[in-house]
Amino acid sequence: MKLDHPKWSIRAGLTLGFTIVLALMVTLMAIAVVWMTRIDRELDVIVNSNLAKTELAHTMETALRERAIAMHTIAVMQDPFEKDAYAQRFDTLGSLFTTARAQLEALPLSDAELNLLKKIKTLTSTTMPYARAAVETAMTARSREDTLAALDEIRINAVPRQSLIAEELTALITLQKDATERTAHDAKTDYHNAIVLMITIGTLAIGLGLLVAIFVIRNATRQATKLQHQAMFDGLTNLPNRVLFHDRLQQAVLSSRRDKRMFALLSLDLNRFKEVNDTLGHHQGDKLLNKVAQRLLSHARESDTIARLGGDEFSLLLPSTDISGGAVFAQKLLKLMTEEFNLDGKQVSVGASIGIAIFPEHGQDPEVLMQHADAAMYIAKRANTGFEFYDEAIGNNTLSNIALKNDLRHAIERNQLRLYYQPKIGHDLGKVTGLEALVRWQHPEHGLVPPDRFIALAESTGFIQPLTAWVVEEAVRQCALLHRSGMYLSMAVNISAINLKDAELPKKISAVLSTHQLHPKWLEIEVTESAVMDDTLCTLRVLEELDVLGTRLSIDDYGTGYSSLANIKKLPLNDIKIDKSFVMGMSDNHADETIVRSTIEMGHGLGLRVVAEGVEDQATGNRLTELGCDSAQGYFMSRPLPPEHLLKWLHESPWGLAADAATLAEPSTPPTAE
């Protein structure tokens, strides 16, 4: 699995930050516990040990001093009872001294203290006999001389020895005082250190915690802004997306309604985007979309909104723009989109189709305006006119295009496609020579949908490939069945410009022909004039391969696509089909008749057969025969028919071929009348 790097590093940073803060807090607690225990122990030493030792040393010192006083008192006392009492006090003080020393010895002592105590003990044992002897002498002293002698003994023998002990005791007390001071100092230092360390670590933890918090808040805010941006803008081009565009459109409707102003909504779809994607790859397709977005942006006003709604669909909102402003802008955009794009050194021309809806004329709420701009765009695409305004008449036919788009994908698997056949009559023989297969969509809700309503949709969604494959297969199958019944008619199928970009098309058609054992010469490929004029290498190669295969090639709707003779000459053509708009009008319109006549002459001059479509009356038929038109097709002879009606027509009409109906195969799809 690939790591999402920024998210991963944020997570790692946060984990590290929190871990450090946690570690600092734990250290803070540990330091608090360790140092406080230490200070507590130090205070304990001061209170329980040092103070006790000092007190015991003081007791010994006092006892010693008072023993000296007792000795002197005994010596100067006359009353034997009082002497006795002081002698007892002398002894008691002696025991007090020894008990205090023993207690001192029982306490934990340093080496220096032990040494001092040892000295005191030794001094005590050497002093004891002298003191005792001095006390004995003092006890027995009765006269002034005795007393003086006893006092001398005390002064000379006992007191100096006792003074030695007192000196050692003073040293002991000083030692303990020092030790107490030292421990108190240590405790104070420890306390100070602990406070400093705790404040430092606490500050660090708070600082780091704050940093982590700032980091989290900043990242969360950034993430929220990013998500908000993603929800409103297209990730590829950075243009507003459908959500934001819809919002702006809603605002535009409200403010334009309030200020009684117009605005234009343009729906723009690239014409050959799919081709770029298929031939150069999605990467280049994405690049192209970006360049388109940049080009659109560079030519828009600041107040305009340009959005990418998905795929190669863009929408533009032009405030304060009326019909003429919309038309001028659309023309400008079309020009921009026909200029070549450079994709890593490859020059690509895409072109676009634009549908325009003007507020309030073509709709008063966002949904309707969007639908109407889309509907107009489909018409522009289908008719190859560049741009179209919404028109209620076309709207009725195309309103449900968006819904149809979804259903169309399932039309084949749900067996909803039908082929109708329109006979072509050869003028020389007056008999049917071929059929044109025209597709229809038997929609469960909308009934029989004519091709004009869904071919452009199929082209824009890529569904045209399976649709054409189905049409070719079905038409060839039907033609082969007719042949087996002895009716040798040609079969024409309409192939979209997009199919001609499929290098495999000749191979696929050849496979279908061999499956149904139909000679290629019976299959006629009808391609619109605009489709062959887009003479990319691939289109030319496909047409040449089809020619080699042996199928016939016919230019459909001739006269609508401004093709030059030079271009036509390059193509492996067999037939030219004059567009019905000229044929239908030729009886009353001299210009139309001139176009028809000159097309027939030009076609013949190039060695081509000329077919007229849209023959609606006898007069037109007759005139076409006079002009030397090779073949004709139109409502006058027959409308496009479902297979079973076709059989009837072939049997009964004046142009039909005589055939044995019993040998005709059953139609492949259920009959429906057009």
The residues binding Mg ion (CB under 5 A) are 494, 526, 556-557
How does DSSP classify residue 668?
S
Q: Can residue 494 be called a binding residue for ligand C2E (CB under 6 A)?
A: yes
Q: Can residue 635 be called a binding residue for ligand C2E (CB under 6 A)?
A: yes
CA dist 55 to 100, 120, 173, 300, 365, Å? Answer: 9, 16, 9, 100, 102
Binding to ligand C2E by CB under 6 A, coded x per residue (else -) over 100-129, reads ------------------------------
285 binds, among ligand C2E, Mg ion, none (CB under 5 to 8 A by kind): none
Which lies closer to ligand C2E via its Cβ, residue 71 or residue 611?
A: 611
- Token output for 627: 């002009």
Give the containing element (helix H, strand E) for 181: helix 159-232
Which listed residue (113, 168, 275, 613) binds ligand C2E by CB under 6 A? 613
Give the containing element (helix H, strand E) for 418: strand 417-426
Which listed residue (304, 474, 526, 545) binds ligand C2E by CB under 6 A? 526
Q: How far apart are CA 261 and CA 660, in angstroms?
A: 69
- Least spacing, CB of residue 365 vs ligand C2E, in Å: 32
Can you name the residues that pair with 631 across neighbouring β-strands?
Answer: 426, 611
Binding to ligand C2E by CB under 6 A, coded x per residue (else -) over 55-74, reads --------------------
Which lies closer to ligand C2E via its Cβ, residue 116 or residue 498?
A: 498
614 binds, among Mg ion, ligand C2E, none (CB under 5 to 8 A by kind): ligand C2E
Residues sharing a CB contact under 8 Å with residue 41, sequence separation 6 or more, in sequence order: none
- Least spacing, CB of residue 591 vs ligand C2E, in Å: 19
For CA atoms 378, 383, 387, 392, give the dihedral sign. negative
Q: How many CB atoms lie within 10 A of CB 124?
A: 21
- Least spacing, CB of residue 422 vs ligand C2E, in Å: 6
CA dist 576 to 30, 168, 499, 543, Å? Answer: 97, 139, 20, 15
Q: Can residue 474 be called a binding residue for ligand C2E (CB under 6 A)?
A: no
Q: Can residue 462 be called a binding residue for ligand C2E (CB under 6 A)?
A: no
> Which residues in 529-568 contact ligand C2E (CB under 6 A)?
556-557
> Which residues in 394-453 contact ligand C2E (CB under 6 A)?
422, 438-439, 450-452
Residues sharing a CB contact under 8 Å with residue 665, sequence separation 6 or more, in sequence order: 481, 484, 485
The residue type found at 154 is I
Which lies closer to ligand C2E via its Cβ, residue 113 or residue 269?
A: 269
- Least spacing, CB of residue 634 vs Mg ion, in Å: 11
Q: Can residue 496 be called a binding residue for ligand C2E (CB under 6 A)?
A: yes
Question: 324: alpha, beta or left, given left = phi > 0 and alpha = psi -120 to 50?
Answer: alpha
615 binds, among Mg ion, ligand C2E, none (CB under 5 to 8 A by kind): ligand C2E
634 binds, among Mg ion, ligand C2E, none (CB under 5 to 8 A by kind): ligand C2E
**Strand locations in 447-600, DSSP E?**
447-449, 490-495, 523-528, 552-558, 575-578
Give the containing element (helix H, strand E) for 436: strand 431-443
State the residues that interact with ligand C2E by CB under 6 A. Answer: 422, 438-439, 450-452, 455, 471, 494, 496, 526, 556-557, 580, 613-616, 633-635, 640
